[in-house]
Amino acid sequence: MSDAHISVRNLRASHGPKEVLHGLSLSIPRGGIYGIIGPAGSAKTTFLTCLNRTLQLVPRASSVGEVSLNGIPVSNFEINDLRRRVAMVLPLPVGLPMSIYDNVAFAPRMVGMHNKGELDALVERCLTQAALWDEVKDRLDQLGTKLSGGQQQRLTLARALSTEPEVLCLDEFSIAIDPVTTMRIESVLVELKSEMTIVLVTNLLAQARRIADRTAFFLNGNLVEEGPTEELFVAPTDPRTHDYIHGKFG
Amino acid sequence: MSIHRRTRPAASVYAEKAIEVVIHLCGYSAILFIIAIFGFIGREGIGFLSTHIVGMFTQTSWNPTHDPADFGILALLAGTFWCVGLSLLISVPIGLGSAVYLSEFAPERTREILKIVVELLAAIPSVVWGFIGVMIVNPMLQALGAQVGLNGLNGAIVLALMTLPLLVSLGEDALRAVPDSYRQAATAMGATRWEMVWRVLMPAARRGLLVAVLLGVGRAVGETMAVLMATGNSVRIPTSVYDPVRTLTATIAAELGEAVRGGEHYQALFGLGVILFIITFFVNLIAEWTLRGNRST
Ligand SMILES: Nc1ncnc2c1ncn2[C@@H]1O[C@H](COP(=O)(O)OP(=O)(O)O)[C@@H](O)[C@H]1O
Ligand SMILES: [Mg+2]
C-alpha cells in the first residue's frame, strides 16, 4: 500500500515470558475503517495497545518490532502526544466521575485550552459527532457516571474525539451496550471515517462486514489474512478464515 | 440408623442457642458502652454545663481554683482547634501525598515495605510522641527562634505525625478503590500520571479521602498525652504559632487528679469531657455520613 497510515512490521509482544503476538506485519491505509476479527485470546487487544503504547502500562508486558504512524516510529513520539493522536475506546464504557461537559473538556484542558467559547464549541462538536448531543445538551453539568451504559459509551467516544485524533481505535466497543446504541455508533463511525482512520476490533463478524472497508483476521497472535472486507468474507484464501467466519470455532 | 435420621444431642442445641445470645450481646455491647460512658460523663458534667454554659462560652479565662472561679473555655477550645488545624496543614498534604505515592507510583515491593513502616508508626504510644515533642521538636523550634519550644506548633507537629498513619492507610485504600478503567481512560487521552492523579483519581476518591481526614481530625481532637507534653499548657488564645497553648484534653488530664471529687472544679472537668465527646461525636458522624454518601453513588 502506498499510503499506509499505520504500518506494523514484525511486531512481537509478550506478557511476562509468554509471547502472545508472534511477529505480525500489517499496513493500515489512511482513512476508512479497518476491521480486526478473531477469537478471544488472539491478541487483538494487545495489538491495539501497541499502537498507542498503552501496552507499557501493563505490568510485565513488553514488545519489539516496528510500529509507525505516518512513517515515523511511534517510539519517536512524545508519549502523551501519541496517545492524543491515536485515541482508544475501551470495551467497557467509562464515564469519568465528573460532569458530562468536563468529561469531554478533560483532554483539551490538559493541553491548555481554557477559552470558554472554544471549549463550548468543541464539547458540542464532539458530543454531536458521538450522537449524544441531543440527549444531554440540557444537562451538561450532570455527572457522566449517571448516564446509561449506552450513553456512557457514546460519552467515551466523544471524549476520544476531543483530542482530534488522526487514528481512532475501538476495542469491542459494543460488548456491553444495547443493539440500538451499537447501530448508532456504527453509523457515527461511517461518518467519521472520511476524517480519520478507524481501527475497529470487533467480536461481531456482522459488524465488521457491515462497516469495515478492510478486515484482518487474527488467530493466536498471528495475522492469518487481511483484505477488502467483502473479499475476505466471500472468498477467504485461508481455510482457517473460512472456518472462523462460518462459525466452526472461536 | 442412617446419618440423616440422627438428631443432635440436646446439649449441643442449647450450646448453639447460648453462643447466639453471647454473640448478640457482644454486638450490642458497643452501644451499651457508648451509652454507659456518656451516662457516666454526663451525670457528673451535665448539671455543671446547664448552670455555667453561658460563662463557659463567653469567657476566655480558665481559673477553676480561684475565688471566684473562672470557667471560660474559649481559650481551651481555641487551643484545641489551633493545634488540630495546624496539624492538618502539615498532615493532610504529606499524608495524602504519601497515599498517592503508595497507591500510584511505588513499585510493589516498596509499597509493601512502606505500608509496614506506616503501621509501625501507628503503633507508637502517645506518651512516646509526647517525649519526641519534648526532646526533639522542642530544641528544633527553639533553634528556629521560638522562645518556648513547647508550644502550639510543637503540639501540631506531634499531632500531625500521630495522625499520618491513619491518613496514609485510609487514603491509600480510597485511591486503590478507584476502578482501573478510570486510570486507563485518562491515560489513553494523553493525561500524564500526575494529571491523572490530580484530575481523575483525587476527585473520584474525594469522599474516601475526606473520611480519612475527618477520622484524623477526630483522632487529633481527642489526643491527650502527647499534646499535654508538647504544647506548653498555657491558657490563652494563640496569636502566633510559637505561642504555648492548652487544649481541652490536656486540661482534663492535668487537673482531674487535683480536683476535689464531686466539687465544682471536678464537675467542670466532666463538663469539658461532655463537650469533647460532642465534638468528636460530630466529627465521626460527619465522616460516617460522607461514607454513606459514597456507597449510594
Ligand atoms: N495483562 C495480561 N497478563 C498476562 N497475559 C495477558 C494479559 N493480557 C492478555 N494476556 C494474554 O495475551 C493473550 C492475548 O490477549 P488479548 O490481546 O487480550 O486477546 P484478545 O483481545 O484478542 O482477546 C491471551 O492469551 C491473554 O491470556
Ligand atoms: Mg480483547
Residue B23 has pLDDT above 80, yes or no: yes
Return the residue of B nearest to A83 by Cα. B190
> Residue A112 region, left (φ>0) first, then alpha (ψ -120 to 50), else beta?
left
The predicted model scores a pTM of 0.77
* Interface contact flag, B189 A162, Cβ < 8 Å: yes
Q: Is A199 on the interface with B (CB under 8 A)?
A: no
| Cβ-based contacts of A55 with chain B (< 8 Å) | none
For ligand 1, atom 21, the nearest C-alpha belongs to: A45
CB A96 within 8 A of CB A103: yes
What are the extents of the domains in chain A? 4-245
Per-residue pLDDT of B172-206, as tens digits, reads 999 999 988 888 888 888 888 888 999 899 988 98
> Atom 10 of ligand 1 has which residue's CA nearest to it?
A15
Please choose from A46, A63, A171, A224 the residue to mutate so as to test ligand 1's pocket, defined by most ligand atoms within 8 A of CB: A46
Answer whether residue A86 shows pLDDT above 90: yes
Q: Cβ of B190 and A97 within 8 Å? A: no
- Looking at residue B296, what is its pLDDT? 41
- Its CATH class, for the domain covering A4-245, is alpha beta
B contacts of A53 (beta carbons < 8 Å): none
Residues in chain B: 297
Cα(A36)–Cα(A48) distance, integer angstroms = 10
* pLDDT tens track for A179-192: 998 999 999 999 99
Q: List the grid coordinates of A224.
A: 492469518
- The H-assigned helical ranges of chain A are 44-51, 79-85, 100-110, 116-129, 133-136, 149-161, 179-192, 205-211, 229-234, 239-245
Mean of pLDDT values over B257-282:
91
Question: For A165, which DSSP code?
Answer: -
CA B134 to chain A, closest CA, distance in angstroms equals 46
Neighbours of B181 (CB within 10 A): 16
Other C-beta atoms lying within 10 Å of the C-beta of residue B252: 20
Q: C-alpha grid cell for residue B78?
A: 481555641
Chain A nearest-CA distance from B211, in A, is 18
| Dist. CA B196–CA B182, nearest whole Å | 9
- The answer to whether residue A21 neighbours chain B at the CB level (below 8 Å) is no
Residue B4's pLDDT is what? 67
The pLDDT assigned to B294 comes to 53
Mean pLDDT calculated for residue range A26-49:
95
Task: Report the pLDDT value the prediction gives residue A169, as an integer from 0 to 100.
Answer: 95
Q: Is the pLDDT of residue B280 over 60?
A: yes
CATH class of domain segment(s) B74-255? mainly alpha
Whether residue A96 and residue B184 make contact (CB cut-off 8 A), yes or no, is no
Query: How do the domains of chain B map onto residue ranges?
Result: 74-255
For residue A145, give how far its alpha carbon lies from the nearest alpha carbon of chain B (Å): 9
The residues of B whose Cβ lies within 8 A of any Cβ of A are 179, 181-182, 184-192, 195, 199-200, 203-204, 297
Q: Which residues of B touch A81 (CB under 8 A)?
A: 190
